[in-house]
Amino acid sequence: MKTTPAAVSGSHRGTLDEFLAPEDIIPVSGMTDAEWDAVRQAPGRALAWRFCTLRNLWVHRGRFACDAFGFAWGGIYRTFLVGSIVATSYRNEGLFRAGERIQGTSDFFRGGFLLPRSSAEFGEIVRLVNLRHHVAGVVTRHDDGGYRVIDGYEADHAYVATAFIESIRRGMAACGLPPDSPRGRELTGQVCTVLYQLAGFAGLRRMPRDLAAHERFRDAYDRRLRDRPASPRVRRMGREIARRIVPVTAALADETVGNHIRRHIDPETAGNLFPEPPGADLEQQRREWGRRLRGRRPIEAIRGRSAARASIWNRPDVAALCAAYEAATTDLTEDRLIGAILLHAIDARGDDVRPLERRTIDLAAGEPLIRQGEKISEMYVIVSATAPLVVLHREAAAAEPIQVATLTAPTVLGEIGMWRGQPAVATVLSRERSRLDALVIDSQHFASLKHEPGFRAATAAEVQRRLSINTALAGTKLEDAAAGSGDPRLASIAQLFRYLTGDSHVSLDAVIDLPDDATPVECVDALRRQVDEAIAGGGLAPDLVHHLKEVVSTIG
């Protein structure tokens, strides 16, 4: 007899255990290259055959696979009903242009079907996807050298694969193969294996056992989406992202925007994301993307983009960042911060392509690298150091500074002072003679780096660690104070704080004085402004004022 998941405990919230019984969950197993090739090639050939219909041969002038890709893209739109996915995507929007965002997703899923798992191109794609997810705070590095999705996002991460599977399944139905026919279920089972395995490359460590378990997970997750929909603000975020990418996916699907929405996106999702008919502006953008993409062969394009990035990965400063990222302690946030700088270097355009200066710094014993009270004009990624660095802070009334931290390489220094444009709040020096190997980020580089949402999120997390502030505790205190006082501004501050420090599950339904299309930078400014106003208004308990000031300090 099939059991149902137990009541959700705090430790299970957001995991597969919230939606499936234990016997329905299995590890994502490793496969040899030969096993993976057999698994990916069989459904790929079968799907190609199923989408080779008279309709597709006529409409797409023989390029019938465009319809299959269109249905696959329908899956990504389904994920925009998931609040945490929308919030993470929106917060990280600065890391992607619309075309690049879709191209990266396309390379990952297409590459999974078209490339051997051991190929250099697929390995590079997986490496970049995991770096993006890690900087966003969705996955963490694992002791085995790979990545693991954090527990609170496991079910959301799995649902991405689920949504793609179900959208492809609708495509098979549209092309004459009933999803619940014996052949339909056999092919869907094969697609499940491929897509959950692909999700495993991006940090998913567990998956539904089989097709029946997949369907139970789908039904349970969809019920939660309907019972607990995202807040209006998050829904508007999802619509904004959908409008940005739909001209690109329509061009890839070789359909007008209107036909793409009607044919490839399920009615529930389409009604949520596109409540109004698409306008002429989206269709014009679709035509422009069609001209850009015309004549490109997918596998050659994937290999070309991978080769172009290879030259960036091999650039000396980027290679040094990679080494620092790999060596950073994984139980802290230093690796996320270095990863954000690395990602910025890989995504750089225009003037930002200029390599970072690599500098050898010789410090005498007791000589400061950064001095409290002095303005910081550079930040450093310390790749290596022959002796530890110490952080000293002097209070106004204290005779001697207090040592507040000991730092070992690799580490990042000066980011908060650069970000806030304020004098350093601590001194950094070595107790003994030390030689530092450092990458230097000057004001020109920092001017663009500071606007990267991934860098902001990673910096906020690192500052929290350095100040020994527990995000959940601070957020809970703010929420309790807001509930007790009924003050809408405190409720707004609490939600903005959680969102900007990486909690993508926050609903954002209490946020005030902020446009729906606000950028992450504007969210930071709004949080700082609202905190200042709350403190200036008076009437708050001293410990709450203390926490509010820590919020501003944490965000930078």
The pLDDT value given to residue 463: 57
Contact 172, 179 (CB under 8 A): yes
Question: Does 315-466 carry CATH code 1.10.10.10?
Answer: no
User: What does the pLDDT look like over 493-510, one tens digit per residue?
Assistant: 888 877 776 677 788 889
Average pLDDT over residues 414-427: 81
Other CB atoms within a 10 A radius of the CB of residue 296 amount to: 12
User: Which pairs with CB-CB distance under 8 Å and at least 24 residues apart come from 219-222?
Assistant: 220/5, 220/19, 220/20, 221/19, 221/155, 221/159, 221/162
469 falls in which pLDDT band (50, 70, 90)? very low
Residue 201, CA distances (Å) to 279, 298, 304, 380, 421 in order: 38, 21, 21, 32, 40
The arithmetic mean of pLDDT across residues 348-373, rounded, is 87
Whether the upstream peptide bond of residue 410 has omega within 30° of 0, thus cis, is yes
Compare 118 and 431 and report the one with higher pLDDT: 431
Number of C-beta neighbours around residue 480 at 10 A = 13
pLDDT in tens, 150-201: 888 999 999 999 999 999 999 999 999 998 999 999 999 999 998 999 999 9
For residue 475, give the DSSP letter.
H
Q: What is the pLDDT of residue 481?
A: 78
Positive/negative CA dihedral, 290, 296, 301, 302: positive
pLDDT score for 286: 94
Summary mean pLDDT of the chain: 84
Which has the higher per-residue pLDDT, 93 or 408?
A: 408
- How far apart CA 196 and CA 157 sit, in angstroms, is 10
Higher per-residue confidence, 549 vs 230: 230
DSSP labels, 188-222: HHHHHHHHHHHHHHTT--EEESSHHHHHHHHHHHH
Residue 417: the pLDDT is: 79
Going by pLDDT thresholds of 50, 70 and 90, the confidence category of residue 467 is very low
Locate the DSSP E strands across 262-328: none
Helix 453-466 with 120-136: angle, nearest 10 deg? 60
Q: Is the pLDDT of residue 470 over 50?
A: no
- The pLDDT, as a whole number, for residue 555 is 54
Q: Is pLDDT above 90 for 90? A: no
Residue 6 CA to its chain's centroid (Å): 30
Domain boundaries along the sequence of the chain: 16-235, 315-466, 471-555
Q: What is the pTM of this model?
A: 0.79
Q: How far is Cα 448 from Cα 317, in angstroms, rounded to an integer?
A: 17
pLDDT 10s digits, 270-300: 999 999 999 999 999 999 998 988 776 777 7
